[in-house]
Amino acid sequence: MIEQAYNYGNFNIAKGLALQKPRKEWLSALDDRTRHWHYSMNGTRVSMEDDFRVWTPSKSGVTEYFMKYTGDTNGGASNVCNCRCFTMYYDEDDVIVE
C-alpha cells in the first residue's frame, strides 16, 4: 500500500514538472522475488501520456493491463500486491547514466 501511494504521488508530481519531452521508465527490483512479467518490464520506456502495457498471467492465459505507473491499481492485484517496482521520470533529452 505504501508503494502504491508513493508511485501515485511521484506520477502526479512528474506531471507538474516543466519537462519538454516527458518520459517514464519501469524499473524492477530484479531479484528472486520479482514477478517474471515485471522482470521483463524492467527498462521499458514510454512517453508520459502513454500507459505501460503489462502482459500478466491469468486463468485464461495472459491478460494485458494498461498502467500509468508502477503500482497503478488498473493493473489489478496480480500486478500491485507486494510489488516493489518503481517508475523513473525524466526528459527525453536528459542524459541517463546506467
pLDDT per position as a tens digit, 31-55: 999 999 999 999 999 999 999 999 9
How high is the pLDDT of residue 1?
A: 66
Please, which pLDDT band fits residue 2 given cuts at 50, 70 and 90?
confident
Strand runs labelled E in the chain: 22-27, 45-47, 52-58, 61-67, 86-91
Cell numbers given for 5: 501511494
User: How many residues are present in the chain?
Assistant: 98
pTM of the model: 0.89
Q: What is the mean pLDDT of residues 63-81?
A: 96
Mean of all residue pLDDT scores within the chain:
93
| Distances, alpha carbon 88 to alpha carbons 2, 10, 45, 49, 57, in Å | 17, 9, 9, 14, 25
SS3 43: coil
